[in-house]
Amino acid sequence: MPPGPRPAYRLRHRERIFPERDFPERIAEIQRLHPPGQGWTPPVKAAFLERFRSTYEEGRAFLEGRFREGATGREIVRGHAYLTDRLIQSLWRLLPDYLETARRSAPLCVLAVGGYGRAELHPHSDVDLLVLHDDTAATAAAFAEPLLHFLWDLGLPVSNALRTPEECIGDAGADITIRTTLLEARLLAGDRDLYDRFRESFRARGRGEPEDFIAAKLEEQRQRHARYGGPVYNLEPNVKESWGGLRDLHLLFWVARHLHDVATLRDLVKQGVLSAGELRSLARSQEFLWRVRNGLHYLTGRNENRLQFDHQRTLAARFGYRDTAATLAVEKFMKRYYRTLRQVVALTNIGLQTLQQEIATPAARPAGPDMRYRGPYLEATRPEAFQEDPARILTFFADAQHLEELPPLEAGTLRALWAGARNVDGAVRADPRVREGLLRILSTPGRVAGVLRRMNTYGLLGRFLPEFGRIVGQTQHNLYHIYPVDEHTLRAMEVVDQFHREESPLALESPLACRLARQVRRPEILYLGLLCHDIAKGRAGDHSLLGARVARRLGRRLGLDPEDAGIAAWLVHDHLYLSQVSQKRDIHDPEVIGEVAYRVRTQNHLDLLFLLTEADMRATGPKVWNTWKAQLLTDLYFNVRQALRTGVPADTRARARRIRRRIIETLQGEGFDPEEVRAHLKRVGQDYLLHYHPEELAQHTRTLLGRAGPTVVEVAPHIRAGGTEILLYTPDRAGLFTLATGILASLGLNIMEAKVHTTRDHWALDSFLVLDQEDRPVHDPRERARIREHLQAALTQPAPLPPAPSRQGYRQRAQRHFHTPVRVTFHPGGAPGETTAEVIAPDAPGVLYRIARILNELGWQIHAAKVATFGERTEDTFQLSHKGAPLDTEERRHALAEAIRREFEAAEISS
């Protein structure tokens, strides 16, 4: 193994980083004042430390200035490594003269290891040193300790180890991290012979077998990706450790160095690991990530590698991005960042597989037309044809889709696909084989997303579908959409793939969706709708409307008949409709059901839109979909399906009679007196019956008929939705709803839905669906009992309204970086005499209580409320009236809107 070469620091401003001519002269002046005979006393050390520190700080300040002037990432990391090299080497030459003979005679050398060994040092990166000796540890420490203490006092973030060559070999065999670190060891100063002996010993006995090293590093990578949010995108990625980050580049270098002793990434071309074009692309990616990491270090003043929200905005501005009407500067910056990650993953995969295949090349086995298995990989029989005729790429993937499982692609095939993608132009996209290949892929349910994801990773999907290429890496700077648009789209397709599979992991969670998916006759319509549902994100205008136009155009291009293309376009246009209705409106209200039925028109449309909606919600983020939202969407589906079968508009009286009859029959079978049940249902009235599911109504009736006292507070798992239902039954009075929401907020509960009803004899019958602070049902019976006791006391022992919960300690750090302006809009209510008010506000504890308190103060009656949370904001919907009249004057609406705005502005100031 050749010795680690001294890096060739090709820096334009070397003298400004470290004054090669001036520094030795200044050190000589100090030596004349403090000759070596004085020893390494505190005054002597202090004199030298002042000069070293000023040189270090001046060099760092110059490099930071260069960064602000737009210097390359390479100049900054090389500049810091060069400055650190010269300081350590100068100290090494200086120190022996001031130490006793016994302390300076031991065979020693100091090595740069880790990233510093590669001469890559970011502004606040650790300086990893190995002091190598061939004597006793005590003798070596006698020299190493004053060296290291001086460097720490200087301000260098040094981490160090003290070992003999034999200890290095032993530790490397036991610890893959140490073995990797020693691969990059570079001599800084000291005994050259000792260093050479170490290098030869390490090569012969310390590196281990290539297969074992590669397997261990790939497993390490897998664990790292799992820890830091890969192989998926992350809202606040770690530039060094996350999927596609700098550590993935390092992995390729480590494996290549283990096999070929490469010194730089450029050597990968000489070894045939990467092509010249691939290296250029990888070098551009490395350069961008270096700049981002440098920026993070300068911005935070520490070794910070996590790209947090506030850092994203600041770096976007420093990198020259500006807001436009359609896209924020930070979204443009993060789009470049995520595209860079994808490129790193693609190119390092090509390089790693090339290196793995050097070790072992298994025999080929036939797999299908123009393809074969090569061990665990799939390879094209003539990969060079992809460059000559790029349309063959679609045929290859469409054929590969029908294999039992799409295996990883062989390195030569990956390289050919990467190169072939650069030759895709308008003429290639117009080739009938491209159209047929895409349509075949979209028409094979259960296996669509895997193929499209593979194509997207290697830059192919966006080349064949430029409309999709525009959303690759496209972000939305909020806490709700946690994935870039392309990743979200592919995840939604993966959900629908799972709906189609016979042994789907979603079979128990989503039986309705799985059943409907297998009944879809033209799956390509659904998959095209999914492909296009967010395809216009990042453009100025309504993305649903613009996306529908893209879907219609793509449908025609793929050869769909106009009707099918029109259905796909309709799905894209209305892809948010069912989720908005289910979360913001009363899904049991006949008016709402009739409106949705009129909008979807047919059972086929309803089925497709339901499938797209659930897939879209599941793919938005891990906390977006829950059992409560699932039940809302499912109930809405069945209500609308019934309306489509029986006709629209529905006969509300006939529906109420059917519900009443069903409840009486159910409870009579359980031993309840049917006349008592009938009298109770008459007292609560028809409106109450029409706004709950019959199963919920039956459960309410059981509770109320079996009550022990006049005031009932029931806290129990919701009979159908994934939440906890709180049922209140008490004499009606002004401010009751406000009081209840205040108590629930003070207990740390999130109210998802509230329904307010007054019986014919003036009793309040209110229900609340709540979740805990982790958005889970309240499972603990003791906690449910505590909630019941607090509410019972508040309802039976009148007391002042509780204060609004404090925002302190609640809003997560990430939420503070997003400003949500308060917006209040009004619409005609679902019932005569009511107004619908929609309030968009920052997410905060007790948001429903804050608004309810204002409505109570202004004399408005709340009939129903729904809360939908989207990341850092909530969208709350209220059905209101004032003494039986709607909110019908502009003056009253303005007064209410202003009062709500003032409440949230005051809360922001107090927090």
| Predicted pLDDT at 339 | 94
CB 480 within 8 A of CB 527: no
CB 397 within 8 A of CB 449: no
- What number of helices (H) and strands (E) belong to the chain? 41, 15
End-to-end CA distance of the chain: 61
In one letter, which amino acid is 279? L
| Predicted pLDDT at 721 | 74
Q: Is 473 exposed, middle or buried (0-12, 13-18, 19+ CB in 10 A)?
A: buried
In one letter, which amino acid is 760? R
Q: What is residue 752's three-state secondary structure? A: strand
| Predicted pLDDT at 215 | 94
pLDDT of 811 higher than 50: no
Encode pLDDT of 303-355 as tens digits: 999 998 889 999 999 999 999 988 999 999 999 999 999 999 999 999 999 99
In one letter, which amino acid is 242? S
Q: Tokens 């300040």 map to which residue?
A: 61
User: 909: pLDDT confidence band, cut at 50, 70 and 90?
Assistant: very low
The mean per-residue pLDDT over the stretch 205-213 comes to 90
pLDDT of 899 higher than 80: yes
pLDDT of 809 higher than 60: no
The angle, 0 to 180 degrees and rounded to 10, between the axes of the packed helices 523-532 and 432-442 is 100
Q: Which of 21-25, 162-166, 686-690 has the lowest mean pLDDT?
A: 686-690
Higher-pLDDT residue of 478 and 893 is 893
User: 424: pLDDT confidence band, cut at 50, 70 and 90?
Assistant: very high
User: What is the number of other CB atoms lying within 10 angstroms of the CB of residue 39?
Assistant: 12
Please state the φ and ψ torsions of residue 713, each to the nearest 5 degrees.
-130, 110
Q: Is 716 exposed, middle or buried (0-12, 13-18, 19+ CB in 10 A)?
A: middle
Higher-pLDDT residue of 27 and 831 is 27
d(CA 858, CA 784): 32
Higher-pLDDT residue of 720 and 191 is 191
d(CA 36, CA 94): 9
CB proximity list for 415: less than 8 A, separation 6 or greater: 275, 278, 350, 354, 383
Most confident of 401-415, 560-574, 754-768, 855-869: 560-574
d(CA 634, CA 646): 18
CB proximity list for 56: less than 8 A, separation 6 or greater: 83, 87, 154, 155, 156
d(CA 688, CA 225): 51
d(CA 242, CA 62): 30
- b/e code 498-514 from CB counts within 10 Å (16+ = b): bbbbeebebeeebebbb
Q: Using alpha carbons, select from 158, 162, 105 the residue that is nearest to residue 131.
A: 162
Beta bridge partners of 885: 882
| Predicted pLDDT at 817 | 60
Beta bridge partners of 828: 835
Average pLDDT over the chain reads 90
Please state the φ and ψ torsions of residue 539, each to the nearest 5 degrees.
-105, 155
CB 614 within 8 A of CB 646: no
The mean per-residue pLDDT over the stretch 526-538 comes to 96
Please state the φ and ψ torsions of residue 262, each to the nearest 5 degrees.
-65, 150
- b/e code 202-232 from CB counts within 10 Å (16+ = b): beeebbeebeebbeebeeebeebbeebbbee
| Predicted pLDDT at 860 | 87
d(CA 806, CA 746): 9
pLDDT of 906 higher than 70: no
pLDDT of 908 higher than 60: no
d(CA 904, CA 906): 5
Q: Which of 217-226, 259-268, 649-658 has the lowest mean pLDDT?
A: 649-658
In one letter, which amino acid is 182? L
d(CA 61, CA 56): 9
Q: What DSSP element (H or E) covers 499? A: helix 485-500
The mean per-residue pLDDT over the stretch 857-875 comes to 80
DSSP 783-809: HHHHHHHHHHHHHHS--PPPPPPP-TT
Can you read off the two tokens belonging to residue 176?
A: 């893959």
d(CA 458, CA 469): 12
pLDDT of 807 higher than 90: no
Q: Give the CA distances from residue 838 to residues 420, 573, 774, in Å, rounded to whole numbers and listed in that order.
A: 51, 22, 25
Please state the φ and ψ torsions of residue 838, each to the nearest 5 degrees.
-110, 125
Can you read off the two tokens belonging to residue 26?
A: 């200044």
CB 856 within 8 A of CB 738: yes
CB 748 within 8 A of CB 773: yes
pLDDT of 446 higher than 80: yes
The mean per-residue pLDDT over the stretch 490-504 comes to 94
Q: Using alpha carbons, select from 368, 445, 434, 433 the residue that is nearest to residue 407.
A: 368
- b/e code 286-318 from CB counts within 10 Å (16+ = b): bebbbbbbbbbbbbbeeebbbbbbebbbbbbeb
Q: Which of 98-112, 317-331, 532-546 has the lowest mean pLDDT?
A: 98-112
* pTM, entire model: 0.86
Can you read off the two tokens belonging to residue 258?
A: 């283990």
pLDDT of 225 higher than 70: yes
Encode pLDDT of 128-159 as tens digits: 999 999 888 888 888 899 999 999 999 999 99
User: What is the number of other CB atoms lying within 10 angstroms of the CB of residue 690?
Assistant: 21
Higher-pLDDT residue of 910 and 287 is 287
CB proximity list for 252: less than 8 A, separation 6 or greater: 265, 268, 273, 348, 351, 352
From the centroid of its chain, how far is CA 584? 26
User: 189: pLDDT confidence band, cut at 50, 70 and 90?
Assistant: very high
User: 3: pLDDT confidence band, cut at 50, 70 and 90?
Assistant: very low
| Predicted pLDDT at 103 | 54
- Whether a cis peptide bond, with omega within 30° of 0, leads into 231 is yes
Classify 115 in phi/psi space as left (phi over 0), alpha (psi -120 to 50) or beta. Answer: alpha
